[in-house]
Chains A and B, each alone.
Chain A
Amino acid sequence: MALVILAVMLFLTILGSVTAPYDPNKMQAKNRLQPPNMKNWFGTDHFGRDMLSRIMVATRLTLGTSLCILIIIALFGIAIGSISGYYPPAGAILMRIVDATMAFPSMLIALFLASIMGPGFMTVMIAVAAVYTPRLARLVHGITLTIATNTYVSAAKAVGVGEFRILTRYVILNAVSPIIVQCSFQLAHIILILAILDFLGVGFPPDVPSWGNMIATSRIYITRAPWLLIFPGVAISLAVISINIVGDTLRDAFDPHAQEHIQQG
């Protein structure tokens, strides 16, 4: 079930506006705030724009951006984590910096970074990536420490395998499964934090159709047009639930004894 929802959303992400029944930005003054009906399944917003089309476009935007952010986090997190796990002196310094940044709630840091850099796509991506990279780095650091003590690593060193090759082929490849599990949970967090930044007004520019922006504007029409609030929220929730279920399944598949532990946002 979760996979089906994710597949549909990924499909929307790749196809984008092709699937939308109407132009998501076309304003029709006489169709303002229409409740859901046969023509506009999810109703229309305060400019008479079709909500279904806007949610489809927002899916592309949010999932696309989230995946880009996740790739940035994975690259930097794995690099920082594995280097600091493999070379203890570097680790001592890097991990102290990581610890210090994690003493503050991640959302506040993202909010602060997003507000000083001003609104825009790059801003949001950098702010969110900067917050979650230390978390992944910390996990990779821990795994690298244990992997590096294995005999096969010493054996590789003994036969003269290069440092870089040991790090990429022997250490990181063996750490892949927990990293994938962690990344899937982080993807869920990224989607939520993107929505929160939009809602607080420091995320995507306000005219861009994103799930968070749509909910933010719906506040004004909360009694007159509750469908403006409900459908984008359902979209976010479905996405996050499916990703969490896939993450749970992956974790159980990779490590049946793994304990559920807190995924802080």
Chain B
Amino acid sequence: MGHHADIDRQVKTYILIFVTLMALTIVTVAISRLHLPVHLAVAIALIVASVKGGLVASYFMHLISERKLIYWVLGFTVAFFFAVLLLPLWTHFDPILN
């Protein structure tokens, strides 16, 4: 499985992703020194982290060329991840006495 040419192309991609990840790491640390207002800082930090994470997942973990079954499993997982993240939060912000 996978010609030598295939793997060579993949290896080139890995190096490129590595450089990108390093750059984004520097970016995220640099931006944090600006002490932006909280909401903006959080948004930017999470966006950068998501891009980095997305690259790791898509290329190092080969998700970009994975099977449908794996996508389905991860899809539901992400949905439930947001459920456990957001529902307690929303409940906290909806107390019975306002």
The judgment on whether A and B are partners is no
Q: Please list the residues of chain A having a beta carbon within 8 angstroms of any beta carbon in chain B.
A: none
Residues of B within 8 A of A (CB): none
